[in-house]
Structure formats: C-alpha cells, structure tokens
Amino acid sequence: MTELSCQGLQKAFGGLVVTDDLALSVASGEIHALIGPNGAGKTTALAQLSGELRPDAGTVWLDGADITDLSLPQRVHAGVARSYQISSVFRDFTARENVELALQAMDRHSFRFFRPAARNAKRIERAEALLDQVGLGEEATVSAQRLSHGQTRQLEIAMAMASDPQVLLLDEPMAGMAPDEASRLAELVRSLAEAVAVLLVEHDMDVVFSVADRISVLHQGSLIASGDPDQIRADPDVHRLYLRDDVES
C-alpha cells in the first residue's frame, strides 16, 4: 500500500497565493479527484506534488518518506509519475518509440553510445504491451504527430505508466475528448487504479463523479471540501462556490 500525501503546502507567485495550506493524500487502489474552478490552483498543486515546482512551505511524503527536496526526475524514479494537461508527446518519434523512451528513463543511466536503441527487443516488447494496455496496440509504428487527439491522450497514459509508478498524477487526461473516448479512458484509469494511487485533476464532472472514490474541492488555493462523491454533491459550500447546477441532475 502506497500513499502520497502533503501537508501545509504553500505557494505564492508574487502577491498571488496559489496554494494555501494544502493537505492531500492519495493511496493505492483509489482515485482521488481534485476539482475546482479555473485558477483554483489545481495544476500548481499537481506540479508541487510531482516536483516541478518547489513549494514555499510544506512537506510532501511518499510512504512516510519526505520527498519535498526531490526533483521531478528523482520523484519519477521514486515512483511518482505524471501526465500533462496539454499533450506533450515526442512528435517526431513513433508511438512505440515514445513509450520506449519512457521505459529507457528507468535504466540507471542512458550513457550508452553504440548499441542501437532500436535493437532492444525486451524494451520493444514492454512498450508494445503498454500500448496494448491503453488501446494503442495497432498504432505502435505510427508517428506521434499523426495520432488523433484522443490517441495522444492514451499515449500520454502509456508513457506515464512506463515508469511502473506507484502514484499517478493525471492532469485533465480527458480534456478535449469526445464523450465515448472519455468514458473509455475513464475505464482505463479505473483499471489502473487497482494497483496504483491516482490523483486526478479533471474538469469533466460526469467523469469525476463516476470514477472518483474521493473528491477534494480547491478554491483559491485552499481546500473547501473533501469527501466521497455523495458528500461533495451535498456540500452547500461546494455548490455555492463551484458546482452550482453542474451536478443538479
């Protein structure tokens, strides 16, 4: 059982407080969704958990170990992987090479100068298995720039999974997806969460309320509510500040 948690997280850009005394936790086997209006600080919070941004104050723990000082690449090796809101795959690589590159990052180092990367049969096999898992098996040798938007999002997930993470931080994985694509991806995330802790930042409330085990609502950098979907649905503060009629039905 793995748990990523933070306490007292604080971040300001100049006078603008974007994260205010934030405490969160996500454990393996659960999907914890982080929601909130635009500018609530969701992506900034994620960036501090992943190691891209240093908090001004506060602590991040992975399984009780303080990882606040670990950089982004170091946290990946510790077991925390993330995906991006704006797809950022390697456009001049094929889908499979994208995943291979993600797998290669788990080698102790890549200062290997002579043996061609394209000859690593074991890695290629692993990459294809990951692509199959996210439903991209058929597109393995397609150049990443030729993939559809939805396929690119799937590739993002495969790359994040390549490090065999214990914690997966997903930043709006369903953004811009057609409803049927989104629900298939939601299923995938659900199945991943059986073994992995998933922190999900997502705007699509239908998805959030159907897949999340726990939901935390962020407003102006601080949490205003946290609980299971039913509690959040019933929370008057959340309604007033954020949900309004989004989930009336």
Partner 1 sequence: MSDPQTAPASPRRTGLRFGLWARGPSRWHVALTVVFLALLSVAPLWVEASGRGYLVTVLTRVVIFGLAAMSLDFVMGYGGMVSLGHATFLGAGAYTAGALTYHSLDGSRLLGIPGTDQALVTWPLATVVGALLGLVIGGLSLRTKGVYFIMATLAFNQMIYFLFNALEIYGGDDGVGLFAARRAIGPIDASDDMVFYYVCFAVLVVFTVILNLVVRAPFGRVVRGCRSNMARMAALGYQTYRYRLAAFALSAAITSLAGAMAVTESQFLSPSFAEWTESGELLIMVIVGGLGSLIGGVIGAGALFLLEELSIDITDNWQFFVGIGLLAIVLGAPRGLTGTLLGGRRSHD
Residues that bind partner 1 (CB under 8 A): 50, 52, 71-73, 76-77, 81-82, 84, 88-93, 97, 100-102, 104-107, 110-121, 124-125, 128, 132, 137-138, 140-141, 159, 162-163
- 52: closest CA among 65, 70, 33? 70
Q: How far is the CB of 249 from partner 1 (least distance, A)?
A: 37
User: 230 burial class (0-12, 13-18, 19+ CB within 10 angstroms)?
Assistant: exposed
User: In terms of CB distance, is 128 or 235 closer to partner 1?
Assistant: 128
Q: How far is the CB of 151 from partner 1 (least distance, A)?
A: 15
Q: How far apart are CA 94 and CA 120, in angstroms?
A: 15
CB atoms near residue 101 (< 10 Å): 18
- 130: closest CA among 160, 109, 152? 160
Q: How far is the CB of 4 from partner 1 (least distance, A)?
A: 16
Q: How far apart are CA 192 and CA 213, in angstroms?
A: 14
User: In terms of CB distance, is 68 or 220 closer to partner 1?
Assistant: 68
Q: How far apart are CA 247 and CA 239, in angstroms?
A: 9
User: In terms of CB distance, is 119 or 245 closer to partner 1?
Assistant: 119
Residues 6+ away with beta carbon under 8 Å from 55: 9, 10, 11, 19, 48, 68
Q: How far is the CB of 106 from partner 1 (least distance, A)?
A: 7
Q: How far is the CB of 142 from partner 1 (least distance, A)?
A: 9
DSSP state of 243: I
Q: How far is the CB of 180 from partner 1 (least distance, A)?
A: 23
Q: How far apart are CA 55 and CA 70, in angstroms?
A: 12
User: Which pair of structure tokens corresponds to residue 233?
Assistant: 């649905």
Q: How far apart are CA 20 and CA 8, in angstroms?
A: 8
